[in-house]
Amino acid sequence: MISSEQNFPQRIRSFIRRQGRITPGQQLALDNYWAVYGLDPQADYDFDEVFGRDAPLCVEIGFGNGESLAKMAAANPGINYIGIEVHRPGVGHLMMQLAEQGISNVRIYCHDAIEVMEHKIADHSLAGVHLFFPDPWPKKKHHKRRIVRPGFVDLLVKKLKPGGYFHAATDWQNYAEHMLEVLSAESRLVNAGNGADYCERPDYRPLTKFEQRGLRLGHGVWDLIFRRA
């Protein structure tokens, strides 16, 4: 059960709510575009009705400033995307990008991703789940805060369609190894690495400026893709 305290302790979260500074442009986007792109975490939705069509549905957990999600949505107009992010400046920044570029296939929750996934996403409904560069919580005493753990994987399996995928990327090798171990232990998921533990970055995952800078400095990046059997 996902509610097990061993898997998801009630008072432990994989994120810290930082207030951050909201720029005037981000605040303007929140004020003007929430009704267009925002989703109420207390409401129940038929996402086909929300997007006005029946299309594959992908969720991105913790999209940061939304740069990669906006690029993905623009490049893949046939896919519906739900982004989940707790930090308002990032939500505002993504809304600015969506409005400026006329991107219509993204909707946003500003809420705890686990709560949204548990209570607002139907079982066996997702074509994909993305988790790009989550907080690695590098200190060993903080590893319990990492989002990828057995309870989270069980939740993924419930929400993915057969053949649906989970794609994680990290620039922390220790976290990559941790995720590989946890995901490989789930018999209902199959590693899509074609015999390798990790995958090459798929074309659909854009390189972020942060990632490009890290690669120039010789930093590693690990992509893991597992499919629902």
Span 69-124, pLDDT tens digits: 999 999 999 999 999 999 999 999 999 999 999 999 999 999 999 999 999 999 99
Do 105 and 77 contact (CB within 8 A), yes or no?
yes
Specify the pLDDT at position 227: 98
What type of residue is 153? V
Q: How many helices (H) and strands (E) in the chain? A: 8, 7
Length of the chain equals 229
Sign of the alpha-carbon dihedral angle for 89, 72, 31, 36: negative
Q: What is the predicted pLDDT for the residue at 151?
A: 95
The token duo for 164 is 């649906």
Q: Which of 61-65, 184-188, 213-217 has the lowest mean pLDDT?
A: 213-217
The answer to whether 201 and 168 have CB atoms below 8 angstroms apart is: no
Check residue 209 and give its pLDDT. 77
Condensed to tens digits (0 to 9), the pLDDT of residues 32-75 reads 999 999 999 999 999 999 999 999 999 999 999 999 999 999 99
Q: What is the pTM of this model?
A: 0.90
Which residues are known catalytic residues?
Answer: 135
d(CA 101, CA 215): 28
Structure token pair of residue 108: 């946003």
Phi-psi region of 128 (alpha: psi -120 to 50; beta: other; left: phi over 0): beta
What is the amino acid identity at position 160?
A: L
Task: Give residue 19's pLDDT band: very low, low, confident or very high (50, 70, 90).
Answer: low
